[in-house]
Amino acid sequence: MPTLLQTVILSAVEGVTEFLPISSTAHLTLAATLLGLVQSEFMKSFEIIIQLGAIGAVVALYWRKLLDLEILKRLFVAFLPTGILGLTLYKIIKQYLLGNTAVTLWSLFLGGLFLVVFERMRRGRADGLEDLKRLPYGKCLGIGLFQSLAMVPGVSRSAATIVGGLILGLKREAIVEFSFLLAVPTMAAATGLDLLKSAGSFSVSQAGTLAIGLLLSFATAVFAIRFLLNYVRRHDFTAFGIYRMAIVLAFLA
């Protein structure tokens, strides 16, 4: 189980990286490795459950849109692929993929390379659908299929949904916002499933560690959301792609 300092570090890493296209799962895995933490069943649950703090940040900032029926219907359709595949593959993902450093590093590096190439090919395009209430259901399903790729650690749920949305014709700010909103049912389902299967095995001290993680990830996620919204108004995602590749090389070094 992580110490208080390790809990603070991991929770801050989760909150800052959850909504940026750099993979929070990868950063948590690499941070835990650098901190000398063993990938135990509790650590795997910790990394999943503290996502609730990040969900809380989205709810706090976007609660009005989460009450809009037209947006909710589109979020439901977009959530379906990940919900079905996640429920089906839960045991495989948790046993073989979560905490797998090799898979994480490859996904992080190749995802960064893809982001750089994708942005170079797309350079100059600023058009696209902006109103989420008019987003066709077929495109919602497509975004959901892209999001399901993020079940592989290191891919990044944010990167997968944003790139998918851009390919399907959404404006950059619109898909970033849709990605934030889609995180709520997706991460709530993942966390709820893990709590359902693991909650009874947590000790009092472990529950306290989870509570600290939730609060800190909430606070840092609010900052990350506001940062990304301001960032995409002036920049593309090339810098994030370069960062992903650089952090892999730095970690290996």
Give domain limits for the chain: 4-252
Residue 220: C-alpha distances to residues 21, 179, 225 (Å):
16, 17, 9
As a whole number of angstroms, the distance between CA 144 and CA 175 comes to 12
As a whole number of angstroms, the distance between CA 224 and CA 229 comes to 9
Burial of residue 64 (CB within 10 Å: 0-12, 13-18, 19+) is exposed
pTM of the model: 0.88
Contact 11, 212 (CB under 8 A): yes
For 226-241, what is the mean pLDDT?
93
State residue 213's pLDDT score: 93
Beta carbons within 8 Å of 175's beta carbon, 6+ residues apart: 143, 161, 162, 164, 165, 166
Contact 205, 37 (CB under 8 A): no
State residue 44's pLDDT score: 78
Asked whether residue 174 carries a pLDDT value surpassing 70, the answer given is: yes
Asked whether residue 183 carries a pLDDT value surpassing 80, the answer given is: yes
As a whole number of angstroms, the distance between CA 45 and CA 223 comes to 24
